[in-house]
């Protein structure tokens, strides 16, 4: 199975940030580590280490990688794959599946696909500067 490169993982870690204890993300999800959505709060009563967060991230990223591999039917460069994995990690496979981004990638309309990342900058009904920066970084990685 194909995996995100270290550049892709670094982008995810940079924008997710690390938290040893659960917190509510801007979209209202209980989150810990590097963007891990907490489904069982009892599992995270104690702070986690960065090493533990990295282990959790590896599993979560694998879910995003599988989704990209399932939903994208054309060859991708490493940068394109990494950008789509970051996008999917952040928003979920459903967002990629129903997106115009996916349709444009699968048509190999890569220039327009890169611009589609910039449409996904809203969370909790607000346009967020952090998401604007993340989507700009993903778009740039997609085009690299």
**Catalytic center residues:** 16, 25
**Greatest alpha-carbon span in the chain:** 47
Give the residues across from 127 on adjacent strands: 122
Q: Which of 114, 126, 143, 133 is nearest to 16 (CA)?
A: 133
CA distance 108 to 14: 28
CA distance 27 to 39: 15
């Amino acid at each position: 199975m194909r995996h995100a490169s270290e550049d892709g993982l670094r982008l995810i870690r940079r924008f997710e940030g690390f938290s040893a204890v659960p917190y509510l993300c801007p979209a209202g999800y209980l989150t810990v580590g590097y963007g891990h959505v907490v489904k069982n709060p009892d599992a995270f009563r104690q702070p986690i280490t960065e090493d533990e967060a990295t282990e959790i991230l590896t599993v979560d990223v694998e879910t995003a990688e599988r989704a990209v591999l399932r939903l994208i039917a054309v060859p991708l460069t490493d940068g394109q794959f990494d950008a789509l994995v970051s996008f999917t990690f952040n928003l979920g496979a459903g967002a990629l599946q129903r997106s115009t981004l996916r349709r444009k990638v699968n048509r190999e309309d890569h220039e327009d696909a890169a611009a589609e990342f910039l449409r996904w900058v809203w969370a909790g009904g607000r346009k967020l500067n952090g998401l604007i920066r993340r989507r700009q970084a993903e778009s740039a990685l997609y085009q690299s």
